[in-house]
Chains A and B, each alone.
Chain A
Amino acid sequence: KAGVTQTPRYLIKTRGQQVTLSCSPISGHRSVSWYQQTPGQGLQFLFEYFSETQRNKGNFPGRFSGRQFSNSRSEMNVSTLELGDSALYLCASSVGGSNQAFFGQGTRLTVV
């Protein structure tokens, strides 16, 4: 079974731009969660999607948004990028939601 695939692996953007990150979950997994990871804050939960519906949301500004498609693939979008958005963005999929999560390798976003 293929693992969770995130694209792109690395991204450099300028302040003010927007970015879209993609996540393909493990086949059969309907829950997809997104996290931001930085050295000082650790893993911070962004949102969770299940069957195309946002089921949970973390404490991030509205510039961070996401969606899930009918094939369970998910995208997250960050608009009006700020320097502080530089981080490793991780996607995790699971069968039912809150238990064992399978992570992708992440997208390293650098905002300059």
Chain B
Amino acid sequence: SQKIEQNSEALNIQEGKTATLTCNYTNYSPAYLQWYRQDPGRGPVFLLLIRENEKEKRKERLKVTFDTTLKQSLFHITASQPADSATYLCALGYRAGNNRKLIWGLGTSLAVNP
């Protein structure tokens, strides 16, 4: 069956440490993968997109890796801050015949403690 999974348990880390979130998928032909941040009661906010032929993407304190062999993306926040506390969603863009579709993970809740 086709599915996309993120760490189901909340992640608690100390301020200043690196947070690493995981997104795994099965049985998709990926075109790209996106990471979003969602705060309570708000819509998701786009953070980064990485394409199937890219290994790594960086933006300020954020780094995303994409391993199509392992069928996994890792999302890193370095020098984490309490303001980084939120739910992080991954979304996989994949090919379905002649169409492109998007499937979302359930999200991982991150809490950064001061």
Interface residues of A (CB under 8 A from B): 4, 35, 41-45, 56, 90, 92, 97-106, 108
Contact = CB atoms under 8 A, between A and B. Distances in A.
B44 A45 contact: no
A96 B101 CA distance: 13
A24 to B, nearest CB: 13
A43 B45 CA distance: 13
Interface string B76-107: 00000000000001010100000111111111
Contacts of B46: 100-102
Interface string B29-60: 00010100000011111100100000000000
Contacts of A105: 41-43
A92 B102 CA distance: 13
B104 A103 contact: no
A56 B43 CA distance: 21
Which one of B44, B99, B101 has the highest number of Cβ atoms from chain A below 10 Å of its Cβ?
A: B44
B1 to A, nearest CB: 14
A103 B45 contact: yes
- Closest 8 A/B residue pairs (Cβ): A103-B43, A43-B104, A42-B106, A98-B100, A100-B46, A103-B44, A90-B43, A106-B43
B43 A104 contact: yes
Contacts of A43: 44, 89, 91, 104
